Structure 1
């Protein structure tokens, strides 16, 4: 692997993985010419526990990512006990890849606005750049201490190992895992919101079909 090529990560519960996640990761990979790793969370600090367990979500991810090699899976949060704090994940990745390779944390515009509520959020910039996944017409101007902290960190492209904020334009796909779970609970099959490979093995989606009342 060329050490100058950025490594980017997209975290989440992926409960379940869907085309919105995948398209955002793919477009970020193209925009940054980066390797992108999907990092499923073990214990999200700010939301309820996932419907599917860790092995089930990883199996869905593997099915979804089959046939390409630009997006991969990184299970380090699943292998670590306790809450899945992003700063710990970035510290672990930085230790693995060394001090010089660019590392990019990919976040949605809404998540970026709330970044100051994250655990040890200022340290995120010591380990990585922040790539903000932006959609046309969606504002993500930070306020307060986040605005002050990032005021001089805006950049048009990733340069150096860490520290900047870079906007990455993505195609707006209004797909939400919550809506997919609700569809399963209502007895529907949310085809074409998830990769077709996820439907090829009945066991992959069994936790979501079990939501039916």
Structure 2
């Protein structure tokens, strides 16, 4: 499970998903747009538009799936509820992984019922170059006894552990910057997949 607002999906998101698929030998990566993310402002375009951009961005990439399951629920998009649907779908013994960016990871203790996340899945954090920064004490407490060092250790059980993973590309693309460039009519070439760029421009998405 690779969730996010994807507002809009960019090459950093997609390259990370491909590298996660390879590094963890996953069957598939469900990329799941949040309808109403609880810890950030309202996305700038509609959930249906973000899903369409995600589908265009993924195209025929093996192993990546644009998953609309959060868009059919009302209320805030809580990750534990989404993981519960995946656990029901794949069964008790499946290895399920939820992927987090480093900024989201730092706020994990603020999430709704964070302990439930570990009951349903493993968590994998995509590290940043400054990942050795001191973690907040509530987060340290939450992670006690859960962190493992390798993907082999992670996959020994269906859920319950956390792995911090460095990916080869570390593409530092900001969706905020992409939105600003689109709003001002600046180029977003090589920041977005061509199909996403073409769709956003053709429909005037993110323009002031």
What TM-score comes out, normalization by structure 1 length? 0.89
2:93 alignment partner in structure 1:
100
Cross-structure match for 1:125: 118
- The number of residues matched between the two structures is 202
Indicate which of 5, 30, 39 corresponds to 1:13.
Answer: 5
Distance in 1, Cα, partners of 2:200 & 2:36:
25
Cα gap change, 1:175 to 1:36, in 2 (>3 Å)? same
Q: 2:86 matched to 1:85?
A: no
Distance in structure 1 (CA, Å) of the matches to 2:98 and 2:133: 16
Q: Distance in 2 between matches of 1:98 and 1:104?
A: 13
> Counterparts in 2 of 1:109-124, with a 5 A limit?
109-124=102-117
Give me the whole-angstrom Cα distance separating, in 2, the residues matched to 1:111 and 1:200.
29
Structure-2-length-normalised TM-score: 0.91
Give unmatched runs, 5+ long, in structure 2: none
Query: Residue 8 of structure 2 contacts residue 53 of structure 2 at CA under 8 Å; is this kept in 1?
Result: yes
> Displaced runs of 4+ in structure 1, greater than 4 A?
202-205
Correspondence for 1:167 among 157, 164, 168: 164
- Alpha-carbon contact 2:32-2:66 (below 8 Å) kept: yes
> Which one of the candidate residues 58, 69, 83 is aligned to 2:62?
69
Q: Report the secondary structure of 2:3's partner residue.
A: strand
CA deviation map 1:90-145 (0-9, x unaligned): 11111111100011110012221210000111110000000011133432653323
SS in 2 for 1:131: strand
The corresponding residue for 2:177 is: 179
Instruction: Determine which of 11, 22, 26 is the counterpart of 1:30.
Output: 22
Preserved CA contact (<8 Å) 1:109 1:140: no
Shift of 1:180: 0.7
- Match status 1:189 vs 2:181: no
